[in-house]
């Protein structure tokens, strides 16, 4: 990882962001709004994953957003691409290695609540790991026993809620449940998820949250709702729908994030 950290530090040329954003479907456009941008394809960063999912580019963009130094990661590796839940570990290790202290993760998700329709944005307050795996399986040190009681940082959550209010965007709150994918859920699985306490379902983010906490990074995460979950609306779910709908909530989330950064990130 040292090699990648050195490459990045050299390319950043003195810029020292404390905050990184991992952009999910529909938010990749945010990376184009970075000023004085340094762009690095993942292919130039040893250890970084190659994402094959359309709608995910695979580029690290560093620079200024709303006047604040940031790193944006457009493109992530998903567990369902290869069965490796730890595929994002090198990325998070490199971020921690260059002095990033907080990450904000974004994703596209299906909603379990009719009152949180497509186009909504949900602040993740907690998650349920329903994948049956964990990115820290195989980690040999005692550090693997990571506490997850406060995985989603209270100060960051509060700041995002205030930013949403100031930006005039409704920010819902809830529990995100990680299904491995790549299939969408069945209606029976969604009824189960609701009973278990989920508000939204998706195929990403949770492994990165676990890895980030393992590395001592502070975490916040937001879902852009692209659809009502399986069985809640007529018709079959599709990746096309996810890609078509993500920019609607994505535009709202972009406004929240811009406000959040211009207000000043707590401790970052």
Catalytic residue numbers? Answer: 25, 56, 78, 80-81, 108, 203-204, 227, 239
Contact between 199 and ligand HPA by CB under 6 A: the answer reads no
Contact between 120 and ligand HPA by CB under 6 A: the answer reads no
Using CB positions, name the residue nearest to ligand HPA. 110
Residue from 136, 229, 232, 261 touching ligand HPA (CB under 6 A): that is 229
Task: Pick the stretch among 9-17, 33-41, 70-78, 104-112 that binds ligand HPA (CB under 6 A).
Answer: 104-112
SS (H, E, C) 10-75: HHHCCCCCCEEEEECCCCHHHHHHCEEEEEEEHHHCCCCCCCCCCCCCCEEEEEEECCEEEEEEEC
Whichever of 203 and 257 has its CB closer to ligand HPA, that residue is 203
E strands, the chain, in order: 19-23, 35-41, 59-65, 68-74, 102-111, 121-129, 171-178, 200-202, 218-228
Nearest-angstrom CA–CA distance, 94 and 211: 12
Interacting residues with ligand HPA between 162 and 191 (CB under 6 A): 179, 184-185
Contact between 4 and ligand HPA by CB under 6 A: the answer reads no
Contact between 108 and ligand HPA by CB under 6 A: the answer reads yes
Contact between 109 and ligand HPA by CB under 6 A: the answer reads yes
- In the structure encoding, which two tokens stand for residue 108, read together? 């596209």
Contact present, 159 and 222 (Cβ < 8 Å): no
β-pairing, 200-202 vs 218-228, is unpaired
Whichever of 88 and 237 has its CB closer to ligand HPA, that residue is 237
Name the residues that contact ligand HPA, by CB under 6 A. 108-110, 179, 184-185, 201-203, 226-227, 229, 237, 242
């Amino acid at each position: 990882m040292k090699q990648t950290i050195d490459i990045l530090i050299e390319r950043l040329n003195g810029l020292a962001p404390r905050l990184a954003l991992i952009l999910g479907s529909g938010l990749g456009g945010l990376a184009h709004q970075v000023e004085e941008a340094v762009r690095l394809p993942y292919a130039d960063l040893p250890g970084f994953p190659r994402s094959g999912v359309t709608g995910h580019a695979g580029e690290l963009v560093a620079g200024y957003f709303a006047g604040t130094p940031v790193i944006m990661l457009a493109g992530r590796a998903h567990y369902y691409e290869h069965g490796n839940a730890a595929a994002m570990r090198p990325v998070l290790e490199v971020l921690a290695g260059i002095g990033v202290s907080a990450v904000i993760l974004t994703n596209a998700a299906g909603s379990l609540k009719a009152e949180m329709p497509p186009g909504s944005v949900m602040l993740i307050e907690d998650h349920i790991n329903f994948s049956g795996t964990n990115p820290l399986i195989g980690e040999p040190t005692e550090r693997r026993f990571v506490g997850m009681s406060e995985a989603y940082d209270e100060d960051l959550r509060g700041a995002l809620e205030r930013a949403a209010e100031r930006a005039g965007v409704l920010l819902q709150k809830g529990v995100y449940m990680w299904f491995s994918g790549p299939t969408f859920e069945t209606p029976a699985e969604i009824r189960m998820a609701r009973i278990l306490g989920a508000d939204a379902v998706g195929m990403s983010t949770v492994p990165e949250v676990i890895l980030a906490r393992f590395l001592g990074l502070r975490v916040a995460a937001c879902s852009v709702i692209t659809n009502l979950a399986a069985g809640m609306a007529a018709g079959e779910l599709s990746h096309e729908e996810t890609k078509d709908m993500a920019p609607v909530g994505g535009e709202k989330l972009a406004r929240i994030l811009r406000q959040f950064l211009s207000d000043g990130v707590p401790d970052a």
